[in-house]
Amino acid sequence: MPIETPNNRPKINKPKFNLSWLYLIIGFSFLILIFFNNNNSSSKEVTYSEFKEMVQNGYADKIVAYNDNSLDMFVKPEYVQKVFKENYKGLSRSPSVHVEVGSMNALDDFLTQAQKDGQFNGSVKYEKKSDIWSVVLWNTLPIIILIVAYIWLMRRMSNGAGGGGANPFNVGKSKAQVYENVNNKDRITFKDVAGQAEAKQEVEEIVEFLKNPEKYTELGGKIPKGALLVGPPGTGKTLLAKAVAGEANVPFFSMSGSDFVEMFVGVGASRVRDLFRQAKEKAPCIVFIDEIDAVGRARGKNPSMGGNDERENTLNQLLTEMDGFKSNSGVIILAATNRVDMLDKALLRAGRFDRQIHVDLPDLNERVAVFKVHMRPLKMDETVDIDLLARQTPGFSGADIANVCNEAALIAARHSKKAISKQDFSDAIDRIVGGLEKKTKIMTADEKRSIAIHEAGHATLSWFLEHADPLIKVTIVPRGRALGAAWYLPEERQITTKEQMLDEMCALLGGRAAEDLFIGHISTGAMNDLERATKQAYSMIAYIGMSEKMPNLSYYSSTDEYSFQKPYSEKTAELIDSEVQRMINGQYERAKQLLSEHKEGHAQLAQVLIEREVIMADDVEKIFGKRPWTSRTEEILAEEEKIGKKV
């Protein structure tokens, strides 16, 4: 991933004029207004003796005395000119003079005398004088608090990655990360994407569009506006999109679908607008929207009732924008999702996301390639066998494999090794599949025996059932929440037959069957197995039409995800239940039967497990002899080795 350098960092707004400046100006004017307003009332300072003279002359209208030994004398309108001389113009209607008084008592006496003599008949008021700053503070504090609270709230709401969060007035701005002018070293290219040959071929064409649009437009063709990368998480969709940008050497805008969604109505739509505005400025470029299902889910199909107007608005805006820009404007939108069935049909129609590119979990050869990519920076010794690792990681995504490599390096470092060995990789895989080993979990001898018998049951059955997945290792060291575990090497099949499914079910039930047969009482340890077996049986009977009493019927509906009604009658429901029970009971009996036949072998296996805690397939082979069945995976591998086909 390119590191953000000053060159490729998203452009942060320079201090240009925006609303926040206006607010500042208003705030300042307000302060100034208050300040001057308070000062305005006294417009002339006079001495005490001048004041006395004025009162004696009958100029005083009213007097306000303050606790800080000063007073304001308001002048009667008819004497204003006399008091203020030539400055009287422009004064308010009742101007005042300000006087510092020596003693309030003396003032009191003087005023009583003046009133007696009829020189002054206005009112005298005593007031507490507050200082000017506290007046300012009291007037402005609530407003300041409000503004601060508002800014805080906006920040909280627009929080998150990207430049948009920094300024509360940028809520409507898109939070896209922009990578441009990425130097050659950091650029992601197709070399960094292992496997995915078909997907790569499809996106290579997009690179070609971006590099030589004329080649296509000259013939009258239109350049596609977008492509949808569909596949499970971690299979390299983002990586592929980045590689397209890297290969075409164009700016890359990356945003997640959920970044559009915000609490405010209208923000999502405005972010979409902003994203496309920015993209058009930078064209040719690539806009990548990860997890597009966050905004692109089919409209009006929301299970939570009431709908989500904001999301629909955002989606509508996205649709409009995609229609709005011309196909030759050089902006290509790539989006990723693993739920293409949930997306709005309008989004998928030609002219928007014209193409769907499937990015699947890597197969054996692709896994080897992914391992090679991620092993490039690692220091390893010669024991590491990439082919074996790839075989041990069926169902792993590219991201999982990257994780295995990293984990192996960490494990090796923890043991202060100079290079990463085969064992570190195995430990890393085990850890990722089963969680951390909990060697400290306390177990009684009885519990240990019971777990060993249970796991040995699985191991024995998988050895003798033709279609069960071949065993790699069995352990009774607790890991994560499981107390014991058996590792298998599942076949990678496109279709599965009924016999294969039944064999798997039988092997699953082997743990419980062994407890039942050889201990005499059953335990909670089998819950996870039973859950899987029951689910398997239900799907075989209700969905895949594999039951004897109700063959060729499937009650699965790929379209109604949230249907609350069963598409069958109560009677059928009962039949399904009884068929499930029959199937599971049948397999349970079969498991018991097989275990009784291999009783001695099982007992030996359990004993070795109790002693060693971990046993590998070789140890099982020593007890039972060679497995009567070879798996297809093994056959293919042997075949490939013979013809020397290497990736």
Kindly list the residues in this chain that would bind ligand ADP in the complex (CB under 6 A). 193-196, 233-239, 336, 370, 373, 398-399, 402
Using Cβ positions, the residue closest to ligand ADP within the complex turns out to be 398
Residue with Cβ nearer ligand ADP (337 or 392):
337
| Whole-number Å distance between alpha carbons of 556 and 565 | 12
Q: Of 180, 455, 515, 579, which residue is the catalytic one?
A: 455
Given a contact cutoff of 8 angstroms between Cβ atoms, the answer to whether 470 and 634 are in contact is yes
Q: Which amino acid is at 489?
A: L
Q: In terms of residues, how long is the chain?
A: 647
284: helix, strand or coil: coil
SS3 323: helix
Nearer to ligand ADP, 200 or 627 (CB): 200
Q: Residue 314 in contact with residue 261, Cβ under 8 Å?
A: yes
HSE-up (13 A, CA, CB side) for residue 412 = 21
Based on CB atoms, which residue is closest to ligand ADP, 196 or 392?
Answer: 196
- The number of CA neighbours under 13 Å toward the Cβ of 516 is 13
Per DSSP bridges, beta strands 226-230 and 331-337 are parallel
Cα 231 to Cα 198: distance, rounded to the nearest angstrom: 13
- Smallest separation (angstroms) from ligand ADP to the CB of 148: 39
> Do 178 and 253 touch, CB atoms closer than 8 A?
yes
**In the bound complex, what is the minimum distance in angstroms from residue 230's beta carbon to ligand ADP?**
10
Nearest residue (CB) to ligand ADP, 191 versus 599: 191
Q: What angle do CA 428, 434, 440 make, to 5 degrees?
A: 90
Strand order in the sheet with 177-179: 177-179, 252-256, 285-290, 331-337, 226-230, 353-358
Beta carbon of residue 411, minimum distance to ligand ADP (angstroms, whole number): 19
Q: Distance between CA atoms of 356 and 348, rounded to whole angstroms?
A: 9
Q: How far is CA 568 from the centre of its chain?
A: 39
Task: Give the nearer residue to ligand ADP in terms of CB position, either 129 or 358.
Answer: 358
CB of 237 to ligand ADP, least distance (A): 3
261-271 CB burial, b ≥16 within 10 A, e <16:
bbeeeebbbbb
* C-alpha–C-alpha distance, residues 465 and 501, integer Å: 11
570 part of the active site: no
Measured distance CA(638)–CA(645) in Å, rounded: 10
We find the least distance from the C-beta atom of residue 252 to ligand ADP, in angstroms, to be 13
**Of residues 292 and 606, the one with the C-beta less far from ligand ADP:** 292
At 255, is the secondary structure helix, strand, or coil? strand
Q: Which is nearer to ligand ADP, 365 or 572 (CB)?
A: 365
**Of residues 631, 278, 280, 373, the one with CA closest to residue 488:** 631
Beta bridge partners of 177: 254
Least distance CB 301 / ligand ADP (angstroms): 24
Minimum CB separation of residue 363 from ligand ADP in Å reads 11
Structure-block tokens of residue 430: 């085990």
φ, ψ for residue 33, nearest 5 deg:
-60, -50
Report, in Å, the least distance between residue 343 CB and ligand ADP.
16
Residue 234 or 525 having the CB closest to ligand ADP:
234
Q: Given the complex with ligand ADP, which of 259 and 516 has the nearer CB atom?
A: 259
What is the rounded CA–CA span in Å between residue 395 and residue 493? 11
**Does the N-terminal peptide bond of residue 2 adopt cis geometry, omega within 30 degrees of 0?**
no
Contacts of range 138-146, beta carbons closer than 8 Å, 24 or more positions apart: 139/34, 140/27, 140/30, 140/31, 140/34, 143/27, 143/30
Q: Specify the residue, 368 or 605, whose C-beta has the smaller distance to ligand ADP.
A: 368
CB of 397 to ligand ADP, least distance (A): 6
At its nearest, how many Å lie between ligand ADP and the CB of residue 196? 5
Instruction: Please say which residue, 235 or 587, places its beta carbon nearer to ligand ADP.
Output: 235
DSSP 8-state secondary structure symbol assigned to residue 467: T
- Backbone conformation region of residue 24, classed left if phi is above 0, alpha if psi is from -120 to 50, else beta: alpha
> Which residue's CB is nearer to ligand ADP, number 193 or number 459?
193
Q: How far is the CB of 402 from ligand ADP (least distance, A)?
A: 4
Provide the b/e sequence for 145-173 (b: ≥16 CB within 10 Å): eeeeeeeeebeeebeeebbbbebbebbbb
Distance in Å, CB of 384 to ligand ADP, minimum: 18
Please state, in angstroms and rounded to a whole number, the distance separating the CA atoms of residues 175 and 275: 8
CB 286 within 8 A of CB 248: yes
Q: Is residue 500 exposed (0-12), middle (13-18) or buried (19+ Cβ within 10 Å)? A: middle
CA atoms of 640 and 644, how far apart (whole Å): 6
* Apex 438 CA angle, 432 and 443, nearest 5: 140
List residues with catalytic annotation: 455
